[in-house]
Chain A
Amino acid sequence: MAIQADEVTKILKSRIKDFKPETELAKVGEVLKVGDGVAVIYGLKDAVAGELLKFPNDVYGIALNLEADAVGAVLMGETQKVQEGDPVQLTGRIAEVPAGKELLGRVVNPLGVPIDGKGPLKASSTRRLEIKAPGVVQRQPVKEPMHTGIKAIDGMIPIGRGQRELIIGDRQTGKTAIALDAILNQKGRGVICVYVAIGQKQSTVSQVVRTLEAHGALEYCIIVSATASDPAPLQYIAPYAGCAMAEEFTYNKGHALVVYDDLSKQAVAYRELSLLLRRPPGREAYPGDVFYLHSRLLERACKLNDSLGGGSLTALPIIETQAGDVTAYIPTNVISITDGQIFLESNLFYSGIRPAINVGISVSRVGGNAQTKATKKVAGKLRLDMAQYNELAAFAQFGAELDKASMAQLNRGARMVELLKQPQYSPMSMEEQVASIFAGINGYMDQLPIAKIRGFETGLLAHLKSKQPAILKDIREKNDLTDDLQTRLKSAIEEFSKTFLF
Chain B
Amino acid sequence: MESVIAEKYAVALMQVAQEQKSLDATGEEIQAVRQALEAHAELKGVLEHPRLKAPEKLEALKVLMGRKLSVVMENFLTLLILKKRIQHLKAVAEHFERLCYKIKGKVVARVLTAQALTSAQRTDLTAKLGGTFGMTVEIREEVRPSLIGGIMVYLGDERMDGSVLGQLERMKQRLLKVEIE
B162: chain A residues within 8 A (beta carbon) = 23-24
Q: Mark B148-173, 1 if CB is under 8 A from A, else 0.
A: 00000010111111100011001100
What's the nearest-Cβ distance from chain B to residue A42, in Å? 10
Is A46 a contact partner of B175 (Cβ separation < 8 A)?
no
Is A15 a contact partner of B175 (Cβ separation < 8 A)?
yes
Is B3 a contact partner of A69 (Cβ separation < 8 A)?
yes
A27: chain B residues within 8 A (beta carbon) = 157-159
What's the nearest-Cβ distance from chain B to residue A95, in Å? 19
B178 within 8 A of A: yes
Q: Given A16-B175, A68-B4, A69-B3, are A23 and B160 also a contact pair (CB < 8 Å)? A: yes
Is A28 a contact partner of B180 (Cβ separation < 8 A)?
no
A27–B160 alpha-carbon span in the complex (Å):
9
Q: Given A16-B171, A69-B3, are A28 and B178 also a contact pair (CB < 8 Å)? A: no
A69–B158 alpha-carbon span in the complex (Å):
15
Is A46 a contact partner of B159 (Cβ separation < 8 A)?
no
Q: Which chain B residues in 119-174 approach chain A with CB under 8 Å?
A: 154, 156-162, 166-167, 170-171, 174
Q: Is the interface of B mostly helix, strand, loop or mixed?
A: mixed
Residue of B nearest to A18 (CB): B174
Is B157 a contact partner of A19 (Cβ separation < 8 A)?
no
Give which listed residue, A3, A21, A87, contacts B159 with CB less than 8 A. A87
A87–B169 alpha-carbon span in the complex (Å):
14
Is A12 a contact partner of B175 (Cβ separation < 8 A)?
yes
A12–B171 alpha-carbon span in the complex (Å):
11
For A21, A27, A29, the residue with the greatest tally of chain B CB atoms inside 10 Å of its CB is A21
Residue of B nearest to A8 (CB): B180
Once A and B bind, how many residue pairs between them come within 8 Å at the CB atom? 51
B178: chain A residues within 8 A (beta carbon) = 11-12, 15
Residue of B nearest to A44 (CB): B157
What's the nearest-Cβ distance from chain B to residue A496, in Å? 63
Interface size grouping (class) on chain B: 10 to 19
Residue of B nearest to A56 (CB): B169
Is B166 a contact partner of A24 (Cβ separation < 8 A)?
yes
B156: chain A residues within 8 A (beta carbon) = 43, 45
B180: chain A residues within 8 A (beta carbon) = 3, 7-8, 11
Is B161 a contact partner of A26 (Cβ separation < 8 A)?
yes
A137 within 8 A of B: no
Is A68 a contact partner of B3 (Cβ separation < 8 A)?
yes
Is A29 a contact partner of B157 (Cβ separation < 8 A)?
yes
A44: chain B residues within 8 A (beta carbon) = 157
A400 within 8 A of B: no
B170: chain A residues within 8 A (beta carbon) = 24
A43–B98 alpha-carbon span in the complex (Å):
14
Q: Is the interface of A mostly helix, strand, loop or mixed?
A: mixed
Is A46 a contact partner of B167 (Cβ separation < 8 A)?
no
What's the nearest-Cβ distance from chain B to residue A102, in Å? 15
A25 within 8 A of B: yes
Is A24 a contact partner of B161 (Cβ separation < 8 A)?
yes
For B159, B162, B170, the residue with the greatest tally of chain A CB atoms inside 10 Å of its CB is B159
Is B160 a contact partner of A24 (Cβ separation < 8 A)?
yes
A446–B159 alpha-carbon span in the complex (Å):
81
What's the nearest-Cβ distance from chain B to residue A89, in Å? 8
A16–B158 alpha-carbon span in the complex (Å):
28
A3: chain B residues within 8 A (beta carbon) = 180
A29: chain B residues within 8 A (beta carbon) = 157
Is A28 a contact partner of B175 (Cβ separation < 8 A)?
no
A24–B159 alpha-carbon span in the complex (Å):
8
What's the nearest-Cβ distance from chain A to residue B99, in Å? 14
What's the nearest-Cβ distance from chain B to residue A56, in Å? 10
Give which listed residue, B157, B161, B167, contacts A43 with CB less than 8 A. B157
A296–B154 alpha-carbon span in the complex (Å):
39
A300–B166 alpha-carbon span in the complex (Å):
41
A21–B166 alpha-carbon span in the complex (Å):
10
Give which listed residue, A12, A24, A45, contacts B157 with CB less than 8 A. A45
Q: Given A8-B180, A12-B178, are A19 and B154 also a contact pair (CB < 8 Å)? A: no
A479–B31 alpha-carbon span in the complex (Å):
85
Is B160 a contact partner of A25 (Cβ separation < 8 A)?
yes
A8: chain B residues within 8 A (beta carbon) = 180
A353–B157 alpha-carbon span in the complex (Å):
63
A27–B171 alpha-carbon span in the complex (Å):
20
B161: chain A residues within 8 A (beta carbon) = 23-26
B174: chain A residues within 8 A (beta carbon) = 15, 19
Is A21 a contact partner of B167 (Cβ separation < 8 A)?
yes
What's the nearest-Cβ distance from chain B to residue A31, in Å? 14
Q: Given A3-B180, A19-B171, A68-B3, are A28 and B160 also a contact pair (CB < 8 Å)? A: no
What's the nearest-Cβ distance from chain A to residue B166, in Å? 6
Q: Which chain A residues in 55-105 approach chain B with CB under 8 Å?
A: 68-69, 87, 89
What's the nearest-Cβ distance from chain A to residue B96, in Å? 15
Is A46 a contact partner of B157 (Cβ separation < 8 A)?
yes
Binding site for B on A (CB under 8 A): 3, 7-8, 11-12, 15-16, 19, 21-29, 43-46, 68-69, 87, 89
Binding site for A on B (CB under 8 A): 3-4, 154, 156-162, 166-167, 170-171, 174-175, 178, 180
A-B pairs, 8 with minimum CB distance: A23-B162, A28-B159, A24-B161, A27-B157, A21-B167, A26-B159, A43-B157, A19-B171
* Contact sample, A vs B, 13 pairs, CB 8 Å cutoff: A3-B180, A16-B171, A19-B174, A22-B167, A23-B161, A24-B159, A24-B160, A25-B160, A27-B158, A43-B156, A43-B157, A45-B157, A68-B4
